[in-house]
Structure 1
Amino acid sequence: MVYEWFRNIDFAWPENFLLLGLLPLLIWHYLRTQYKARGAVLVTTTNTLQVTTAKTKLRHTVFILRLLAITSIIVALARPQERSDIQKTQGEGIDIMLCIDVSGSMGERDIPPSRMEAAKQVAEDFVRNRPVDRIGLVIFSGESFTKCPITPDKNTLIKQIRSLDLRDGGYLEQGTLIGEGLATAVDRISSSNAKSQIVILLTDGKEDAPVTRLIDPLAALEIAKVKGVKVYTIGMGAGAASTSELSGETNKATDDFLDEGLLNKIAVETGGLFFRATNKKALTDIYASIDKLEKSKVELVTYKRFKEQYIPFLLAALAFLLLEQLLRMTVFRRLP
């Protein structure tokens, strides 16, 4: 406990510790004085004089108390201060909305352990690397849903990303509504006052619209352009034979399972880029590229706070001096 306390202690005037060099001189002077103060009497034997009492055993206590008092005063003069360092990350962030496809095909295992799990892991790493940005999460299949609104709370967002499951598509209509997913993401992010607003849309399929579709992809693209939202699109999937996480069946994927033309159009017309992720490393590299392209102004500020701690040493010195005087006037009182 004492060690931990001293670890956080700094001394404003450490040069005053040079005064500790006086202590050996005081000890030498005390011992020299004690020797000279002894009386000399010639006797034939000293056996009768060898009487040991508590008072004789503790005869140096007064001097030790004086040394402790002086030491405490010197430490107080060195001005001990308890230091606490506080780090704060501040800067100009970017609002980012992750828009992730949770349709059944995201269970394909052509990207181990599955497309969904790879997307979750890489998205979590991306969030951790954006300390000052506000980030949210929208999911979509045959409908879209805001899983987490724009927030600076990274822990809450990461919990939502980790909780993503193919069963999330169970309470949404079946299908792949890229347009509605994008429109929802743009709507959630466009209300912010950030200078830069980004949507990262990840999907592994084409627009597969049920009759209940409200917004098609091109309409969502126009909304994003009007709102000034930049969209990065990611087409995910190896495009080879794969195994479904849900059914365990091996499916022969075709080369046209993605509408790369649509994804590229959305990205280019909003000022973003289209990426193709055929494996987890490629997906990681894509997020890293977006991270570099959309840099936030981050500043790490360290605050150092000091709390004066010399008063306990002064009180200790006072206590030692009072105890010394008390012992001099009582137990070690000398008669004239």
Structure 2
Amino acid sequence: MINLSWSSIEFIHPMWLWLLPLPLLITRIAPSYRTQQSAIKVPFFHILTEALEISVSDDASRLTPAKWQRILLSLSWVMILIALTKPTLLGPPQTREQFGRDVMVVVDLSGSMAEKDFTSTDGIKISRLDAVKKVLNNFAKTRKGDRLGLILFGDAAFVQTPFTADHDVWLDLLNQTRVEMAGKSTHLGDAIGLTIKRFEDSNNSQPLNTTSREKVAIILTDGNDTDSYVPPMDAAKVAKVKGVRIHMIAIGDPQTVGEQALDMDTINTIADASGGQAFQALNQDELINAYAEISKLEPQLYQSTTYRTKQSIHQYPVMLMLLIHLCFFGFMSCKYVWRKTVKSKGEHHV
């Protein structure tokens, strides 16, 4: 249904309204139209005009429009000018959101993530995974406009949350994660490979005319790779080709040996090969600083624009003018026929 409230109507060419008083100016300045009519000459015409005090003019008489004709002409002039201003109906405000980046957060859930060697802001010892959850809760609040995804890995990698702009849902699924729910090992290379695949699937699902988003992965691990099907270095090279930038965050004790030892050389190489950066977080503050630095490296690209749809309604004043003309002329035609009929009946009766 069309809403014709004044607040929703915009005139594209309002300067045409300056011509509203033009007919009045013309009638004041331009001479009136005079027409010649048949007349009977009488020798005592001047005596009649003096007796009746009537002013006369030579050779022509002035035509004076009836009141209804003046109203009809005025309405027609107003409707024509309104149509020339091109009135446009504005639709309700709509918001168009343009998302900036696709950010895939990859979290290691191996058994060592249960180690309580991090201290919370309250001074309480918490596990590495709980520390990661707290920091990611704050990180998600700074990523307005970004779509976040979540991949968990251990003995294998799996998608916990596909890319979504609903950060509340993303945080709920993050908080449901538990240590070793993906196994005890650290298949870092497989996690990178799955991350690349998810980015590719996301690109293929986008419309053709949609601008591709920047692709960023943040991988958090506290150990080295153990028997991945895809070596981490090879996966990082593929990520570079596919345009996926990987930031690495290594947490835990660097003095650890065995499968849980941090391989900082591999972590730095993965980040460098993909165009990202590597960070090492030995405590809660360093972990917070690592995500803060990533936020600086990947600033928000979110844009929100408000617009209103426009629909021209200039045809309605023209249609109204034609309808008024048809009604007036239809009425006058009926009136003329009725008078003619009455007159003919009167003559016939006589």
- In structure 2, the partner of 1:251 is none
Compared CA separation, residues 305 and 314, structure 1 to 2 (3 A): same
The answer to whether the aligner puts 1:185 opposite 2:195 as a matched pair is yes
The Cα shift of 1:312 comes to 0.4
Q: Distance in 1 between matches of 2:115 and 2:70?
A: 82
Greater RCO (CA < 8 Å, at least 6 residues apart): 1
The answer to whether the aligner puts 1:311 opposite 2:328 as a matched pair is no
Q: 1:172 aligns with which of 173, 176, 181?
A: 181
What TM-score do you get using the length of structure 2 for normalisation? 0.54
Compared CA separation, residues 327 and 109, structure 1 to 2 (3 A): farther
- In structure 1, the partner of 2:143 is 126
**Amino acid of the residue matched to residue 200 of structure 1?**
I
The Cα shift of 1:299 comes to 10
The Cα shift of 1:21 comes to 1.8
Q: Distance in 1 between matches of 2:213 and 2:67?
A: 75
What TM-score do you get using the length of structure 1 for normalisation? 0.56
Q: 1:220 aligns with which of 206, 222, 232?
A: 232
Compared CA separation, residues 78 and 269, structure 1 to 2 (3 A): closer
The Cα shift of 1:14 comes to 3.0
Q: Select between 311-320 and 115-124 the one with higher mean Cα deviation.
A: 115-124
Compared CA separation, residues 230 and 18, structure 1 to 2 (3 A): closer
2:20 alignment partner, SS class: helix
Compared CA separation, residues 197 and 18, structure 1 to 2 (3 A): closer
Compared CA separation, residues 86 and 146, structure 1 to 2 (3 A): same
- In structure 2, the partner of 1:231 is 246
Kept in 2, the 8 Å contact 1:109–1:115? The answer is no
Compared CA separation, residues 302 and 166, structure 1 to 2 (3 A): closer
Kept in 2, the 8 Å contact 1:225–1:270? The answer is yes
Compared CA separation, residues 274 and 79, structure 1 to 2 (3 A): same
The Cα shift of 1:200 comes to 1.9
Q: Distance in 2 between matches of 1:106 and 1:61?
A: 95
Q: Distance in 2 between matches of 1:160 and 1:215?
A: 30
The answer to whether the aligner puts 1:3 opposite 2:33 as a matched pair is no
The answer to whether the aligner puts 1:259 opposite 2:258 as a matched pair is no
The Cα shift of 1:255 comes to 7.6
Q: 2:219 aligns with which of 187, 201, 204?
A: 201
Q: Distance in 1 between matches of 2:223 and 2:121?
A: 18
Kept in 2, the 8 Å contact 1:147–1:160? The answer is no
- In structure 2, the partner of 1:75 is 82
Q: Distance in 1 between matches of 2:185 and 2:77?
A: 81
Compared CA separation, residues 94 and 221, structure 1 to 2 (3 A): farther
The answer to whether the aligner puts 1:98 opposite 2:98 as a matched pair is no
Q: Distance in 2 between matches of 1:182 and 1:221?
A: 10
Kept in 1, the 8 Å contact 2:104–2:149? The answer is yes
The answer to whether the aligner puts 1:146 opposite 2:159 as a matched pair is yes
Q: 1:288 aligns with which of 288, 295, 305?
A: 295
The answer to whether the aligner puts 1:275 opposite 2:279 as a matched pair is yes
- In structure 2, the partner of 1:250 is none
Kept in 1, the 8 Å contact 2:105–2:218? The answer is yes
**Amino acid of the residue matched to residue 232 of structure 2?**
A
Gaps of 5+ in 2: 29-65, 123-129, 205-211, 344-350
Larger radius of gyration: 2
Compared CA separation, residues 195 and 319, structure 1 to 2 (3 A): closer
Q: Distance in 2 between matches of 1:161 and 1:177?
A: 23
The Cα shift of 1:75 comes to 0.4
**Amino acid of the residue matched to residue 219 of structure 1?**
P
- In structure 1, the partner of 2:17 is 17
CA RMSD of aligned residues (A): 5.3
Q: Distance in 2 between matches of 1:284 and 1:89?
A: 25
**Amino acid of the residue matched to residue 176 of structure 2?**
R
The Cα shift of 1:116 comes to 0.8
Compared CA separation, residues 306 and 95, structure 1 to 2 (3 A): closer
The Cα shift of 1:198 comes to 4.5
Kept in 2, the 8 Å contact 1:267–1:273? The answer is yes
- In structure 2, the partner of 1:244 is none
The Cα shift of 1:310 comes to 1.4
| Equivalences, count | 270
Q: Distance in 1 between matches of 2:215 and 2:25?
A: 73
Compared CA separation, residues 283 and 165, structure 1 to 2 (3 A): same
Compared CA separation, residues 159 and 176, structure 1 to 2 (3 A): farther
**Amino acid of the residue matched to residue 153 of structure 2?**
F
Q: Distance in 1 between matches of 2:318 and 2:180?
A: 70
2:298 alignment partner, SS class: helix
